[in-house]
Amino acid sequence: MTSRRRAPANGAGAPAKETLTQPQKSAPTSVEDPKISIPPSKWTKILCLSSLLLLPYAYLLFFHFQIDAQLKRSILINAALSAAGFFVTVKLIPVASRYVLRRNLFGYDINKKGTPQGLIRIPESLGIVVAIVFLVLAILFQHFNFTADSSWLVEYNAALASICFMVLLGFVDDVLDVPWRVKLVLPSFAALPLLMAYAGHTTIVIPKPLIPYLGLDVLDLGWIYKLYMGLLVVFCTNSINIHAGINGLEVGQTVVIASAILIHNVMQIGASKDPEYQQAHAFSIYLVQPFLATSLALLCYNWYPSSVFVGDTYTYFAGMTMAVVGILGHFSETLLIFFAPQVLNFLLSLPQLAGLIPCPRHRLPKFDPKTGLLTGTNDGTLVNFTLRLLGRMREESLCIVLLGLQAVACCFCFLLRWLLAGWYK
């Protein structure tokens, strides 16, 4: 669910989807391709955001911890590759936008309806560019890090196959607009390579306080663990998809969570002596760094006011990537706490999703063209809840507040882990 009204599938004689009158359509605007670029003010904002998120990570990586030189070298090679990916993505998005617009894959920004910006055709599904660059980076990185007989190669390729399949299904969904019931189960199919190749332990460590009651140290869940993995994938993908609708929210929340994942990974590497354990978190870094870099490139265009929309391609790709690293890096519980705002949004949305309360097509806030402010409706989303709590505000401010909430959830997770260390596990 994003802040756009999907363009009518057919040409001029539009059926069910678009019944509103659009005086602009008769004008020859379809021939003219808007030049999509990043204004300097956006560059500054993205730069500030990136520094805020990456500086703690860089500090921990280079100064705070003594990390094995070989490992640090691999991480730096990956970081260099990711930086290259950032610039490639920044260059490719305007090019792809032209092709996407030409094939009528666009939408209108509902949160600008009534202003001139509400009439601009905004290209959709630009997540495909991010995903393809990410996949190329991830594939190329194998050459630098894994030897042909490495045991990690199976999981790495299974991860790539899963992410690639998810991107494929996400893009097919964006193009063909599949029914929502199908949308829900798509991620389970994409998770299959991962589930098949997952050779890790399916045991969970019982929290110390509960051991006397259960009489067990560890519990082998077997296939139930794989079911949990599948459900985690379905949750991560769809929860990002419904916590959306504001310019920059989908990519923004992902970027904050990805930074938190990186910080968590480097902390665990620094705190541990076990090479297998370190390798698991390094594996996560190798996938999240390129993911973060290419997502930042997309954010440069998608931040308020959005020049491109990300599509279900991006939200599915993002959810899958983070679920994959959480599963293969063995930190899925930590990941779920990072996802606390998404969990909250899901719980708030449950009554409407379950049909107990009427659920409109878009559960967006109400936009007032005169003031330019958004007002919260009674829909059950975190976006509306925040607006009802804090009063009307501009779209950009709302996004910043929600990203701030995301960051608070991540910090809370770190605090929780610190407080419970030793007591919990």
Which positions lie near a copy of itself, rule CB under 8 A? Answer: 9-13, 15, 30-31, 96, 99-100, 102-105, 128, 132, 135-136, 139-140, 142-143, 148-149, 153-154, 157-158, 160-161, 164-165, 167-169, 171-172, 175-178, 189, 192-193, 196-199
Minimum distance from residue 163 beta carbon to a copy of itself (Å)? 9
- Calpha distance 293→103 (Å, rounded): 28
> What sign for the dihedral angle of Cα 167, 172, 174, 179?
negative
The one-letter code for the residue type at 47 is L
Minimum distance from residue 135 beta carbon to a copy of itself (Å)? 6
Residue 175 or 400: the one with the smaller Cβ distance to a copy of itself is 175
- Calpha distance 322→418 (Å, rounded): 22
Minimum distance from residue 420 beta carbon to a copy of itself (Å)? 32
Cis peptide before 275 (omega within 30 of 0): no
- Calpha distance 121→8 (Å, rounded): 12
The SS3 call for residue 204 is: strand
Minimum distance from residue 78 beta carbon to a copy of itself (Å)? 15
> What sign for the dihedral angle of Cα 19, 21, 26, 32?
negative
Minimum distance from residue 164 beta carbon to a copy of itself (Å)? 4
Determine the length of the chain: 425
Contact of 310 with 298, CB cutoff 8 Å: yes
Minimum distance from residue 44 beta carbon to a copy of itself (Å)? 32
Q: How far is CA 289 from CA 120, 252, 282, 286, 410, in A?
A: 33, 15, 10, 6, 18
Residue 105 or 233: the one with the smaller Cβ distance to a copy of itself is 105
- Calpha distance 260→54 (Å, rounded): 9
Residue 171 or 303: the one with the smaller Cβ distance to a copy of itself is 171
The one-letter code for the residue type at 407 is A
Residue 17 or 362: the one with the smaller Cβ distance to a copy of itself is 17
- Calpha distance 96→313 (Å, rounded): 14
Through-space distance between the first and last CA atoms of the chain, rounded to whole angstroms: 39
Residue 197 or 340: the one with the smaller Cβ distance to a copy of itself is 197
- Calpha distance 172→219 (Å, rounded): 40
Residue 141 or 235: the one with the smaller Cβ distance to a copy of itself is 141
Residue 161 or 219: the one with the smaller Cβ distance to a copy of itself is 161
Residue 149 or 274: the one with the smaller Cβ distance to a copy of itself is 149
- Calpha distance 147→161 (Å, rounded): 19
Residue 68 or 177: the one with the smaller Cβ distance to a copy of itself is 177
- Calpha distance 122→101 (Å, rounded): 8
Burial class (CB in 10 A: 0-12, 13-18, 19+), 273: exposed
Minimum distance from residue 198 beta carbon to a copy of itself (Å)? 8
- Calpha distance 27→12 (Å, rounded): 12
Minimum distance from residue 154 beta carbon to a copy of itself (Å)? 5
Residue 153 or 206: the one with the smaller Cβ distance to a copy of itself is 153
84: its two tokens: 């290259």
Minimum distance from residue 22 beta carbon to a copy of itself (Å)? 16
The SS3 call for residue 329 is: coil
Residue 145 or 386: the one with the smaller Cβ distance to a copy of itself is 145
Minimum distance from residue 204 beta carbon to a copy of itself (Å)? 19
Minimum distance from residue 265 beta carbon to a copy of itself (Å)? 23
